[in-house]
């Protein structure tokens, strides 16, 4: 018995010894910056001088009085409300089309996922070219049917919706993979029984397939919402906040405050406020999902 106890302890020591280098790196480059930024949110700092006077909750109070924050929150909400269901709907339709056995199906599935291999900065450059007022393919197509050239990303009324379309295109491949895996887990026997009873393909999809996609829907809603609330790369690559701040979302404004205005303490407070909001939204999503989705 003592020998087994000694062996168990030695294995525990060996295990900790093996993971300790990774834990040190995670602590140094992950946990420590998080704690330092939390401290920074209660200070005033320009990232250039060593003086960081303590200001307490002033940075957090400033959030409530900043009209640009209100504007950025509005744009973030609009973007999230369009991006999340749009990506899920397009992903589900494409996944349903790819959930069959035909020749070259693996090629089609790879093509559907290929957008995830394109970096967000590259996506921004592609859409800048596509929507260019003078040389873009989109305006060329519109001109062919008699529609005047549109400014798109240079327009205060259009820019945010172009960013939505760009990110839906970029994230569709991800939702396709998630839905395709879920669709392939739907028992074929259920569809066969419903077909024998005379149910149409659409009825079978609506009454059998869609209810069984609950866990996939929950995962995508949570994951895509978190990503939507942290939108930055695409805005930075295309509009830099847009004309009249039309695409200034919360994370872009955070970056602007930290690295353009050099108000790092205020930016850190904004980041932690966003962190709390994401936690609350995720908790609400899981709580609401319990009524419709079984979560083991």
List, for residues 79-103, the tens digit of each pLDDT value: 999 999 999 999 999 999 898 888 8
pLDDT tens for each residue of 154-166: 999 999 999 999 9
pLDDT confidence band for 292 (50 / 70 / 90): low
CATH number at residue 147: 1.10.3720.10
pLDDT confidence band for 8 (50 / 70 / 90): low
Under 8 Å between Cβ of 67 and 248: no
Residues of the chain above pLDDT 70, percent = 95
Lowest-pLDDT range of 105-119, 222-236, 249-263, 271-285: 105-119
Q: Assess if residue 5 is contained within a domain.
A: no
Q: Assess if residue 185 is contained within a domain.
A: yes
Which carries the bigger pLDDT value, residue 189 or residue 11?
A: 189
Under 8 Å between Cβ of 270 and 250: yes
The CA distance from 268 to 266, in Å, is 5
Query: Can you tell me the mean pLDDT for 29-51?
Result: 89
Please give the backbone phi and psi of residue 43, each rounded to the nearest 5 degrees, phi first: -125, 170
pLDDT confidence band for 172 (50 / 70 / 90): very high
Query: Can you tell me the mean pLDDT for 141-157?
Result: 93
Q: Assess if residue 174 is contained within a domain.
A: yes
The CA distance from 146 to 158, in Å, is 19
pLDDT confidence band for 2 (50 / 70 / 90): low
Q: Assess if residue 42 is contained within a domain.
A: no
With a cut of 90, say whether residue 288 has pLDDT above it.
Answer: no
pLDDT confidence band for 142 (50 / 70 / 90): very high
To 10 degrees, what angle do helices 214-229 and 159-183 make?
A: 150
pLDDT tens for each residue of 178-235: 999 999 888 888 878 888 888 888 888 888 888 889 899 999 999 999 999 999 999 9
CA–CA distances in Å: residue 73 to residues 22, 179, 250, 251: 37, 30, 6, 10
Query: Can you tell me the mean pLDDT for 38-50?
Result: 91
Prediction pTM value: 0.89
Which carries the bigger pLDDT value, residue 251 or residue 23?
A: 251
C-alpha angle 126/250/87, rounded to 5°? 50
Name every residue whose Cβ is closer than 8 Å to that of residue 133 and which is 6 or more positions away in sequence. Answer: 139, 149, 150, 151, 152, 154
Q: In whole numbers, what is the pLDDT of the chain averaged over residues? A: 89
Distance of alpha carbon 35 from the chain centroid: 24
With a cut of 80, say whether residue 9 has pLDDT above it.
Answer: no
E strands, 160-253, where?
Answer: none
**Structural domains in the chain (count):** 1
Range of the domain at 172: 65-289
Q: Assess if residue 248 is contained within a domain.
A: yes
The CA distance from 194 to 71, in Å, is 50
CB atoms under 10 Å from CB of 114, counted, come to 10
Query: Which 8-state DSSP code applies to residue 54?
Result: B
The CA distance from 170 to 148, in Å, is 27
Query: Can you tell me the mean pLDDT for 240-268?
Result: 93
What is the pLDDT at residue 22? 85
What is the pLDDT at residue 3? 53
Q: Assess if residue 58 is contained within a domain.
A: no
């Amino acid at each position: 018995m003592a020998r087994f106890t000694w062996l168990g302890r030695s294995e525990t020591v060996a295990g900790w010894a093996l993971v300790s280098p990774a834990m040190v790196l995670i602590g140094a480059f992950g946990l420590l910056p998080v704690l330092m930024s939390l401290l920074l949110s209660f200070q005033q700092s320009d990232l250039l001088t060593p003086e960081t006077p303590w200001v307490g909750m002033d940075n957090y109070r400033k959030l409530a009085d900043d009209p640009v924050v209100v504007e950025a929150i509005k744009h973030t909400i609009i973007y999230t409300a369009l991006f999340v269901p749009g990506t899920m709907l397009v992903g589900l339709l494409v996944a349903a089309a790819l959930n069959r056995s035909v020749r070259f199906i693996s090629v089609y599935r790879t093509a559907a996922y290929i957008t995830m291999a394109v970096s967000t900065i590259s996506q921004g450059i592609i859409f800048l070219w596509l929507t260019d007022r003078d040389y873009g393919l989109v305006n060329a197509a519109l001109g062919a049917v008699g529609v005047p050239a549109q400014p798109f990303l240079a327009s205060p009324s259009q820019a945010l919706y172009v960013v939505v379309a760009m990110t839906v295109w970029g994230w569709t491949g991800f939702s396709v993979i998630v839905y395709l895996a879920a669709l392939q887990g739907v028992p074929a026997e259920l569809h066969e029984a419903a077909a024998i009873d005379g149910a149409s393909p659409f009825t079978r999809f609506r009454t059998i397939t869609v209810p069984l996609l609950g866990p996939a829907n929950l995962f995508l809603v949570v994951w895509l919402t978190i990503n939507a609330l942290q939108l930055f790369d695409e805005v930075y690559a295309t509009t830099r906040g847009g004309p009249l701040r039309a695409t200034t979302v919360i994370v872009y404004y955070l970056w602007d405050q930290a690295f353009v205005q050099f108000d790092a303490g205020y930016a850190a407070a904004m980041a932690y406020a966003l962190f709390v909001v994401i936690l609350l939204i995720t908790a609400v999503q899981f709580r609401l999902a319990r009524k419709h989705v079984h979560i083991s």
